[in-house]
Chains A and B, each alone.
Chain A
Amino acid sequence: MQIYLPIAEVAVNVFLFLGLGGAVGFLSGLFGVGGGFLMTPLLIFNGIPPVVAVATEANHVVGASVSGVLAHWRRGNVDFKMGLVLLVGGLVGSTVGVWLFSVLRGLGQIDLVIVLAYVVFLGIIATLMLGESARAMLRHRRRPGAGRKRRQHIWLHGLPFKTRFRASRLYISALLPLGLGFLVGVLAAIMGVGGGFVMIPAMIYLLGMPTSVVPGTSLFQIIFVTANVTFLQAVNNQTVDVMLALVLLVGGVIGAQIGSHVSTKLRGEQMRVLLALLVLVVCGKLAFDLVAVPADVYSTFVLTGP
């Protein structure tokens, strides 16, 4: 069944996009990530203009994060104080990001920046994850139950404005989460992601937060940052397709439930390896398109008129 997407201005098969929503929802339920970093490239591969894909995915992530955060909140796994500090940075960062997006779009380089940002960040994350889970698997084999040493002090922890974050059992400079929030906010706007795939490793390794409160707190601030991105994209670029976002949400919600059910049956390291490989595949495909000779070196962009 074809439906005509009002903002993307293309007719698409509704079942294909329900399926995409479902598949990414399944993975996000399985791995506990938002899935935006997979969804935006998939939308682009399937003929949605990149600018629409990015803005719409932000809108989709708002919905997907709400259902996630409610579950974590019920279990008391949200550090609201940390979330608020990240959020302040995130709101400023995403506002800057959307502005940057408009400027780059005018220069004709936005598609390149989106793809470059993806290749760089997906590449880094996948490599880190692969290395980490490979080490974890080896450790698991040698002496089961050995944990990683938490909270290593580096120069970043010596910054001023020390603040106590009770739920995370941390006493660190507020500038740290503020800066992290800002950085992820910029990424969220340019890449159309919640930024969970950057935020979660940074919270664990950089801030040293306990793993239990990481997903909930990350999701909590992602809701507000992506809501801000959605609003600003709608105002500045008119590229948010609510129809597409709703189709993705319907598929995603169902997929996420199945995914989180399956995740209880898999081991942590195995899952991380699978996720890392998946991220590498997406990254590889994007990187290949960047260096391979394009099908047509010319492209068109309609400035005015219908």
Chain B
Amino acid sequence: MDRARTIMAVTLIAAAALSAAPASAEYLAADLSDRRITITLGFAGAKVLLFGATDGEGDVAVVVRGPEQSVVVRRKDRLSGIWVNRASMRFEGVPAFYRVASSRPVAELASPAVLSRHEIGVDHLHLPAKIRAPEEVTRPFREALVRLRQRDGLYGADAAPIAFLDDRLFRTTVDFPATVAPGAYMVEVFLIRDGQVVIAQSRPLFISKEGVSAEIFDAAHRFPAFYGIVAVFCALVAGWLAAVMFRKV
């Protein structure tokens, strides 16, 4: 039943694509090599391949966004010789991960207004402060937030290149570092022609913890008291085992 429905849906989409493609010549299709990344005990980062096709003309930009977070940025100041956290600012809707790939440098794709509307490029990312403050107050904190996330490999410094295999097929890879946060990610693909986004597509990507490390994290947050008792018990048993093992040596 489900299978039949899927086949029907795919056929319909293919038919629609075929009928649309030749006429107005605005065609974009893209997909990921993986829809799901699992963080297991041996997780050391992951690579996901994004591939797609256009009808030939225009540039392609890809934006990968992680789940949104509330983040406090703090600034250290010197207080009688030592560095102490003083001023702080809270930002809302901060993506945990943000990377851009494009077939040309981002600045050449479109006007800043267009780039800002679609949040293409790390400079055009909307990072609103929770409490409204003048731009000159928030700017250093916002820049620091971006800089620190770039340092940790969570935000890309420059756009990664998108390679065109011929004038229609393109591909790029997205690198996820080992520190990537689990959650729902969104991969947006834009076809840009004459400085305007003519068509856009998005593909979800899920990053989840699985296996032993997921269970440990889960237990620590859902049953903290139980987790604490188990942690103490494990240490007691390990210590006792060590004492017994080495008594005879």
Contact = CB atoms under 8 A, between A and B. Distances in A.
B216 A306 contact: no
Given A227-B232, A243-B213, A306 B85 contact: no
A300 B73 contact: yes
Interface stretch (A89-97, A140-148, A290-298): A290-298
Interface in A236-264: 236, 238, 240, 242-243, 245-246, 249-250, 253, 256-257
- Dominant SS at the A interface? helix
B225 A305 contact: no
B206 to A, nearest CB: 11
Contacts of A243: 212-213, 216
Contacts of A257: 246, 249
Contacts of A299: 73-74, 76, 85, 148
A108 B235 CA distance: 30
B239 A62 contact: yes
Given A108-B85, A306-B69, A2 B178 contact: yes
Contact of B178 (A10, A230, A249): A10
Contacts of B111: none
Nearest to A61: B235
B126 interface: no
Most chain-B CB neighbours within 10 Å: which of A66, A112, A234, A301?
A234
Interface string A79-114: 000000000000000000000000000001100100
Given A257-B246, A299-B85, A7 B216 contact: yes
B18 interface: no
A85 B161 CA distance: 67
B216 A6 contact: yes
B236 A253 contact: no
Contact of A240 (B42, B75, B144, B220): B220
Given A232-B228, A290-B82, A302 B220 contact: no
Given A300-B71, A304-B69, A62 B85 contact: no
Contacts of A5: 213
A1 B140 CA distance: 39
A121 interface: no
Contact of A4 (B42, B220, B224): B42
Contact of B213 (A6, A62, A245, A290): A6
B25 interface: no
Interface in B149-185: 149, 151, 178-179, 181-183
A38 interface: no
Given A6-B213, A59-B235, A63-B238, A291 B81 contact: yes
Interface string B111-144: 0000000000000000000000000000011001
Contacts of A249: 235, 238-239, 242
B70 A305 contact: yes
B234 interface: yes
10 contacts: A2-B44, A7-B220, A59-B231, A66-B239, A67-B243, A70-B243, A109-B84, A240-B220, A300-B145, A304-B69
Interface of B: 39-45, 67-77, 81-85, 88, 90, 96, 140-141, 144-145, 147-149, 151, 178-179, 181-183, 209, 212-214, 216-217, 220-221, 224-225, 227-232, 234-236, 238-240, 242-243, 245-246, 249
Given A9-B181, A243-B213, 11 more contacts: A2-B44, A11-B43, A223-B236, A238-B220, A249-B235, A298-B140, A302-B70, A303-B69, A306-B67, A306-B181, A306-B182
Interface of A: 1-7, 9-11, 59-60, 62-67, 70-71, 108-109, 112, 116, 223, 227, 230-236, 238, 240, 242-243, 245-246, 249-250, 253, 256-257, 290-291, 293-294, 296-306
